[in-house]
Chains A and B, each alone.
Chain A
Amino acid sequence: MGYRDVAKIGIGGPVGSGKTALVKHLVPDLVDLGYEVGVIANDIMTQEDADVLRRAFAETVPEDLVRGVETGACPHTGIREDPSMNLAAIDEFTEWNPDLDVVIVESGGDNLAATFNPELADYFVFVISVAEGEDIPRKRGPGVTQADLLVVNKTDLAPYVDADLEVIDRDTREVRGGDPYVFTDCKSGQGIPTVREHIERVLFA
């Protein structure tokens, strides 16, 4: 068993867009569906952060399947040019848990150009938030255009940051060119089932 034998979901996107919030919804959902799940977060800053991460999944994921992987202040290198340390962590997961079905890798918060290496992620989800500005989709960053699924999060905040969801929807549809995207509000959980359905359809068909 090794990293090639499990499904891998990469979650990327700018700092604070809601990657961890999304992972916190997805993990229990996937566990409920009967999948054995591992979680990796990049750029954990302290042991305390790692403990917080483990506690967040304490009910759903065994401790040895939750791991922080430091990326030497190069979050995009860790998921794109040289994912070897993430792959090594996944190899260790599979060594101890041969029944593992899927690993979710959350990238460190990065810029709109940070995409996942296809050897690290079978399915690449890019998370942006409406609070980062209505014009984010229009910038056509590679993360936004190339991800398998684009998640536009924090729709609940749109009225407070003068973001027009209709404009975002129109721009997103155009730059995605027919590829899927989902509006979510991780606070209320709105849109999360759609994200999960996309992932399930592709990875576990």
Chain B
Amino acid sequence: MPTDSSAFLTALRLADSSLPVGSYTASYGIEQYANEGLLEEVSDLRAVVEAYLERVVGPCETVAVANAHAASADGDLDGVLAVDERLHAVTLPREFRESSTRAGGQFCDLLLAAADGEAVAPAYATAVEAGTTPGHYAVCFGVYTQAAGLECEVACLTQGYAFLVSLLGAAQRLGRFGHTDVQSVLESTLPVLEEVCARHVETPLGEMGAFAPFAEAMGMRHERATRRLFMS
């Protein structure tokens, strides 16, 4: 998986938590785990994060990035729109959909709308802007990284890494986890991310779907939470 230096730098830029797309406002249910006392020990955090990788990042987000990347490479706008529609349908908690589409909208504004005029990117950005497609972050990400010359698997790893770091950041701000603990969870879950991306980079769109009922229940209960620092 060799990658040229400009693609590498683009990957770093996209995985950087300073990318202004509001990821720090999304916890994807982590806040509710904390609210309900389910995130006390480092082992709880590791288990929850691994489950997200296995059940959401792999079978949903990675499949979305990879299929959007492939459709974009084929110049297939309808294919990209189909990925967006499917991801919207399989993301059950309302707040998860909102966090993803708000970040996607910002990503479009910031990067996609200005991407190469020949590519699918600007047409897709126009559809997101017009509200005719939801504009999920993973789909925007797949389209943009294809136009920017990132290999599909690199794109999936980059998106997965950014998601992982953002979950851990939310957990750290909510719980009583030290920075070394958080880094140790990150280190031990990176191989899981690698494995999950490799497993799902070629999963066809028709098989996209999360199985994370507990996380989804947390995401739904968060809407009526007694404490809300995060949007999801």
Which chain A residues have a beta carbon within 8 Å of chain B's beta carbons?
Answer: 43-47, 69-74, 77-78, 81-85, 87-88, 91
Given contact pairs A45-B228, A88-B22, A72 touches B27 in the complex (Cβ within 8 A): yes
> Known: A43-B229, A46-B226. Is A74-B22 also a contact (CB below 8 A)?
no
Q: A72-B26, A82-B21 are in contact. Are A46 and B229 (CB under 8 A)?
A: no
Partner of B102, one of A45, A77, A81, A88: A88
Indicate which residue in B18, B22, B224 contacts A47 across the interface (CB closer than 8 Å).
B224
| Minimum C-beta distance from B221 to chain A (A) | 12
Nearest CB on B from A21, distance (A): 23
B227: Cβ under 8 A from any A Cβ? yes
- The interface on chain B, measured as residues whose beta carbon lies within 8 A of the other chain's beta carbons, has a size of 24
Is the C-beta of B20 less than 8 angstroms from some C-beta in chain A? yes
Q: Is the interface of A mostly helix, strand, loop or mixed?
A: loop
- Nearest chain-A residue to B227 (Cβ)? A45
Let me know if A46 and B20 touch, CB within 8 A: no
B21 with A84: CB separation less than 8 A: yes
Q: Counting CB contacts under 8 A, is B231 at the interface?
A: yes
> Given A72-B231, A74-B173, are A85 and B226 neighbors across the interface (CB < 8 Å)?
no
- Looking at the assembled complex, report how far the CB atom of A110 sits from the nearest CB atom of chain B, in whole angstroms: 14
Cα A171 to Cα B219 in complex, Å, equals 49
Among B22, B223, B224, point to the contact of A85 (Cβ < 8 A). B22
Least CB distance from B170 to A in Å reads 7
B111 within 8 A of A: no
Q: Is B225 an interface residue (CB 8 A)?
A: yes
Residue B177 CB within 8 A of the other chain = no
Q: Quick one: closest B residue to A119, CB to CB?
A: B20
A85 to B106, CA, bound (A): 8
Residues 1-33 of B at the A interface (beta carbon under 8 Å): 18, 20-22, 24-27
Instruction: Check A88/B106 contact, CB under 8 A, given A78-B25, A82-B24.
Output: yes
Q: Report 12 cross-chain contacts, Cβ distance below 8 Å, ordered by A residue.
A: A44-B228, A46-B225, A47-B223, A69-B25, A69-B231, A70-B228, A71-B229, A72-B173, A74-B173, A78-B25, A81-B18, A82-B18
| Smallest CB gap from B170: residue in A | A72
For residue B174, CB closer than 8 A to chain A, the reply is: yes
Write the nearest CB–CB distance from A12 to chain B, whole angstroms: 18
Question: Is B105 an interface residue when CB atoms closer than 8 A count as contact?
Answer: yes
Task: Assess the A72–B25 pair: CB atoms within 8 A.
Answer: yes
Contact B18 A88 (CB under 8 A): no
Nearest chain-B residue to A95 (Cβ)?
Answer: B131
Q: A46: which of B21, B22, B26, B227 is its contact (CB, 8 Å)?
A: B227
